[in-house]
Structure 1
C-alpha cells in the first residue's frame, strides 16, 4: 500500500513515497549519507543529474531535491529512501571532539566518513538502549557528551593511568581482556571488519562528544592483538586526558604515555625487565602482559634503562625476527576478550526479551539490513549461491 505520510520509525511500514520523503526531508541526513559513501558533492550531483551547487543547497536546507530525485539519491548513496526522513535521533560529532590516531595521514574525506560512522554507532546504541539497559558510563570527567579532563584524575598521563587503574579497581599486573573491560565501564567499542570500507585507512579513533564515549578500532594496518590493545589504551587515554582534539603530536605522545603506564605500570614491570636487554625474555613477558616486544623495548628506553643506540639496535634485530614464533603478530580473532561484544549482546538480549529482529531494527534506523549486521558485529556469513 502506498501512502503520502512519512514512515514512522519502528512501525511495520517499510517504504515511503518520494513525496512523503520530500515533505519531511532532513538535510543533515543527506550530508551524513554522502560522508558515509565517501562521495563528493560533485560525484553525487553527477549521479542524479544536477549541479554540485544544487547538492550543496540540499545539504544546507536552503532547497530540497525534487521528489523524483530522491530515489536516485538513495541509489547513489546506497541507503533506503526513508533514510532522508526527519524524526530520528541523529548522531552528529563536532570534529574538534574527535581524536584520530594518525591525523596527518587521514584526509578530510576519511575523517568525515569515520565521524558519520561513529554517529551511526551511537544511533544504534540509542535504539538498543530504549530496550536494554547498557552499562553505566564510568569514566572520570565524563558527563553526558562532555569530557572535563582533570576531574578526579591527574592531567599528567602517567598519574592519570595509575588513577584510572585505581578507579576501576584493577589489581597489580596485566590488564586482561582490555576491550571487554572498557565496555563494562559503559564505553562503546567497535571494530569494523576489513569489509567495512567506512573506516578504511583510519588507524584508530575516539570521541567523548556523544552521550556515550566511543572508541573505534580498525584493522587496516595489522591484524595484531598487541597493537590492537595498545590502540585501545591509547584512545582511552585521549578520553581521559583531552576534552578537545588539537591534532598535535603532544596529545599523541601523552596518549602513548598513558597507554604504556596503563598496560605496563612502572612499579609492576620494572622488577621483571632483565638487566640486559634480552629479546627472548621480553617475548615471554610480551605474552604475559599483552603488549608487543617492540613496546617493551620502548619501555626500557622510557624508563631510562638503555640508551638510544641500544634501542635502535634492538629494533633492527626485531625487524629481522618478525617472522619468527613469538615475535610476529597474533590475530585479534584468537582473543575473544579483546573483541567488542556490548552492542551485539544488547541486541541478543532485546531479541530474547522484546522479540526485536534485525529487520525491525533496520526499519527503525532506516538502514539496510547488512549495515545493521555489520555494526552489530553479526555479518551474514552464509555462502552465496551463484547460478551459472
Structure 2
C-alpha cells in the first residue's frame, strides 16, 4: 500500500524519480525500490517524501481507497495524459478523505445525487435547454433568483465538489464517479482552484449539465455546446434575463453586464451570450459588442473586481458534525482537515485565527 502511495504522490507532484530522490537525499534507484515495495523508507525519509510531494505523511497510511470511474475532462490540448493522470491522483486523494468521513456516519448525511424526475427524455434543439434548466431548478426548489453559493447547493444535492490546486491553465473541469472498495459510488465534479469565481461557477454548471443531459440529446446536438447552454441558463434563467435586460434591446452597457455578473455569478461574456440566446439582442448586435469586448482585452481578464472563488464548505462542517456525534475522534478530525492538533484545538474553540496562524 505504501509503495503505491509513494508513486501516486510523486506523480501528483509532477516529480521524476531523480527529482524526488534529490529532495529526499537518496538515489533515484532507492525511490524506484520504494515504489515497487522492494525497500521500505524510514520514518525520516517518509517525512521528507511527504514534504517534497506537498502532502501529509498520513496519506501514505490511508486505508480507504477510491477508484475514479469514467473520468471526463474538459480541457485544452495542452493538458496532456501525464497532466491528466497527475490530476486524477490529486482528486482521488481529496475524495478518499470525503469517503472516509462519510463512512463514519451511520446514514449518508445528505441525499444521494439523482437527476430530478419527469425531465424531458429527449432534447432536440439547444433552445429547449432553457426550459430544461428551469425544470431542474424548480424540481430542486432553487427558484429563479441568483444562486449565491453554487458549490454549497451542489454538495447539498449529493455531488462531491473538488476544487483542485491545478496550475496548468489547460484544465477546466472533470466529472467522474468515485467507487469505494465496498461498492459505494459518488458522483464527483472537479474544477481548478486557480480560476476566478465566475469561471469556476460556469464550469460547475457545465459539468452538472453533462450529468443531467446524458442520454437525452438527439443526434446532431453537440454535447459541449449543450452543456454550455445549460450552464448559462442554470446561472441566469430566461425569466431573469428578460426581466433585467428587457425583451428587446439595440445595445447593452458594459456597466449593466458588470453589475449582473456580480449579482448572478455569470461572467460579462456569459451575460452577453445569454442576451443573444434569449432574443434580447440580435446576432449582429452581439457580434459587434463581442468584438469591442475583445478589443479591450477583456476576454482574458474581465474589468473590475474579480468574482470571489467558490469554496467547498460541507466537508469541514461534516467533520465537526461527526466529531460532535462522537463518530470520529479529535485526532481523526485533525487528520481529515489536514491540520496539526494544536491548530485544530484552537480552531475548534474559535480562538483567534491570527493566533492559530502563528503557532
TM-score, shorter chain, exceeding 0.5 = yes
Question: What is the CA distance between 1:39 and its match in structure 2?
Answer: 1.6
Contact 1:226 1:290 in 2 (8 A): yes
Contact 1:140 1:153 in 2 (8 A): no
SS at match of 1:209: strand
1:269 to 241, 245, 254: 241
Indicate whether 1:310 and 2:277 are aligned: no
Structure 1: runs of 5+ lacking an equivalent: 1-24, 142-149, 193-197, 244-248
Change (3 A) 1:358 1:318: farther
Change (3 A) 1:77 1:237: same
Change (3 A) 1:69 1:283: closer
Structure 2: runs of 5+ lacking an equivalent: 179-184, 216-220, 345-349
Indicate whether 1:66 and 2:39 are aligned: yes
- Corresponding residue for residue 220 of structure 1: 194
Question: What is the CA distance between 1:300 and its match in structure 2?
Answer: 2.7
SS at match of 2:111: coil
Question: What is the CA distance between 1:187 and its match in structure 2?
Answer: 1.2
Change (3 A) 1:36 1:272: same
Indicate whether 1:31 and 2:7 are aligned: yes
Distance in 1 of aligned mates of 2:40 and 2:263: 60
SS at match of 1:270: helix
Indicate whether 1:49 and 2:56 are aligned: no
Greater RCO, 1 or 2 (C-alpha within 8 Å, sep 6+): 1
Distance in 2 of aligned mates of 1:126 and 1:117: 14
Change (3 A) 1:282 1:67: closer
Indicate whether 1:346 and 2:318 are aligned: yes
Distance in 1 of aligned mates of 2:87 and 2:120: 29
Change (3 A) 1:240 1:180: same
Distance in 2 of aligned mates of 1:291 and 1:314: 17
Change (3 A) 1:131 1:114: same
More strand by percentage: 2
- Corresponding residue for residue 175 of structure 2: 207
Change (3 A) 1:120 1:270: same
Question: What is the CA distance between 1:352 and its match in structure 2?
Answer: 2.4
Distance in 2 of aligned mates of 1:369 and 1:115: 26
- Corresponding residue for residue 122 of structure 1: 95
Which segment is superposed worse, 128-137 or 280-289?
280-289
1:102 to 57, 75, 78: 75
1:278 to 222, 239, 252: 252
SS at match of 1:276: coil
- Across the aligned residues of Structure 1 and Structure 2, the Cα RMSD in angstroms comes to 4.0
- Corresponding residue for residue 297 of structure 1: 272
Change (3 A) 1:242 1:73: farther
Could you state the TM-score of these two structures normalised by the residue count of structure 2?
A: 0.71
Contact 2:206 2:231 in 1 (8 A): yes
Question: What is the CA distance between 1:238 and its match in structure 2?
Answer: 2.3
Change (3 A) 1:269 1:357: same
Contact 2:166 2:193 in 1 (8 A): no
Contact 2:34 2:41 in 1 (8 A): no
Question: What is the CA distance between 1:135 and its match in structure 2?
Answer: 0.8
The superposition leaves residues 10-69 of structure 1 with CA deviations (integer Å, 9 ceiling, x where unpaired) of xxxxxxxxxxxxxxx4543233212222223454466542449x83x865xxx4231357
SS at match of 2:198: helix
Distance in 2 of aligned mates of 1:183 and 1:83: 24
Change (3 A) 1:81 1:178: closer
Distance in 2 of aligned mates of 1:155 and 1:205: 25
Contact 1:100 1:205 in 2 (8 A): yes
Question: What is the CA distance between 1:118 and its match in structure 2?
Answer: 1.6
Contact 1:189 1:340 in 2 (8 A): yes
Question: What is the CA distance between 1:353 and its match in structure 2?
Answer: 2.6
- Corresponding residue for residue 172 of structure 1: 144
Change (3 A) 1:349 1:68: closer
